[in-house]
Amino acid sequence: MQTMVKKIVLSYSGGLDTSVILKWLQETYQCEIIAFTADLGQGEELDQVRSKAEMLGVTDIRILDLREEFVRDFVFPMFRANTVYEGHYLLGSSIARPLIAKYLVQIAQEVGADAISHGATGKGNDQLRFELAANALDPAIKVIAPWRQWDIRSRTELVAYAERHQIPVPKDKRGDAPFSIDANLLHTSTEGKVLEDAGEAASAYVYQRTVDPVDAPDLPEVVTIGFEKGDAVSVNGTQLGPMELLIELNGLGSKHGIGRLDLVENRFVGVKSRGIYETPGGTILLAAHRGMESITLDRAAAHLKDEIMPRYAELIYNGFWYSPEREMLQALIDQSQNYVSGEVTLKLYKGAANVISRSSSNSLYSAELVTFEDDFGAYDQRDADGFIKLNGLRLKNWSARNNRVPA
């Protein structure tokens, strides 16, 4: 017996899975379905999304362009922390889910819906990201997760259901799909099927967004990125908004084969998964931001940021964007960015984005202090004598103890 629900807002992509889910919700709950599609720069034809939803009898279809908000309020705050999960992953899928959840809940409240629904499976991380966000944003909202409720267990059964209900099945969805793709303005994620054997190299056709670095231009390209308080604001002297800036960097990164990643990661649900990620603009942005911080952050502040970053990344990956601990860490991170302003120049070449110069009116870098020439008293090298003695005192005591007490 299903819980009585009067209206549901579905996160709808227009693909086979969510089209089947839409029909299943209609049959199962016998209520109105509102279809919501977030345009996050996935590059799909959104007019087709509308027509598919209409074909399935949906009259209230919300397609929202959230690209600017996505970059400004989610991607940029995350990049202020130099966020990477397990040392490599730039969290392109993870950071998109709290924004989608925000609008699912917001639309539900607007139309008086008592439930939201998503197409995430019971094996992945996205179910957590959607539902934990919903818990934080509206504790009273019900969440319907069809993949955890229905009796469909395979792609074959999904296609059969679609055919019974006259839902169009794309040719590439018949039989086994070679892999699953998730894309937005920050990245493209490819997982499953042909990638499930972690011992096999991914074929060239798996990569969707970047050229093979081998085939990238033989001449490097130099790009300068301007920052204000930790956020990128310009490329080669041209002021750009967050969305435009990331689009510009994506073009440069794609051209030079930058941002490819083949990763086996640890999902929050307890399994390991292998994915191919492409984050061209984000990889350039991360290198540039670290370059900017290298001359504007105090050593202890920079090291503290590096210490908390893995925890911050884990919160985002696990679905705790809307949590008190993430907000606390964000406040600390944002405070650290007050003087992170200036310009960073990078060389893009054959898959690499390397910082070659950086400048800032807030720079803590002093040529007078580090010079090998006469510093005219700016640094008294004799002071290092006492500094070393005091720091070495405990090591002398430790070594003396070890020499007289056998292990």
What value does the mean pLDDT of the chain take?
93
| pLDDT at residue 178, as a whole number | 67
Of residues 337 and 193, more confidently modeled? 337
Instruction: pLDDT band for 368, please (50, 70, 90 cuts).
Output: confident
Of residues 177 and 326, more confidently modeled? 326
Active-site annotation holder among 19, 62, 126, 189 = 126
Active-site annotation holder among 72, 73, 138, 180 = 180
Active-site annotation holder among 50, 67, 80, 97 = 97
17 catalytic per annotation? yes
Tokens 């970053």 locate to 309
Active-site annotation holder among 11, 13, 17, 189 = 17
Whether 321 shows a pLDDT value over 90: the answer reads yes
126 catalytic per annotation? yes
| Mean pLDDT across 40-69 | 92
Rounded Cα distance between 44 and 371, Å, is 54
155 catalytic per annotation? no
| pLDDT at residue 176, as a whole number | 55
pLDDT per residue over 112-128, tens digit each?
999 999 999 988 899 99
pLDDT over 90, % of the chain: 83
Nearest residue to 288 (alpha-carbon basis) of 335, 248, 347, 239: 347
| pLDDT at residue 181, as a whole number | 87
| pLDDT at residue 132, as a whole number | 98
- 160-174, 198-212, 244-258, 362-376, range with greatest mean pLDDT: 244-258
Rounded Cα distance between 240 and 298, Å, is 28
Count of CA atoms in the C-beta half-sphere (13 A) of 26: 15
73 catalytic per annotation? no
pTM: 0.93
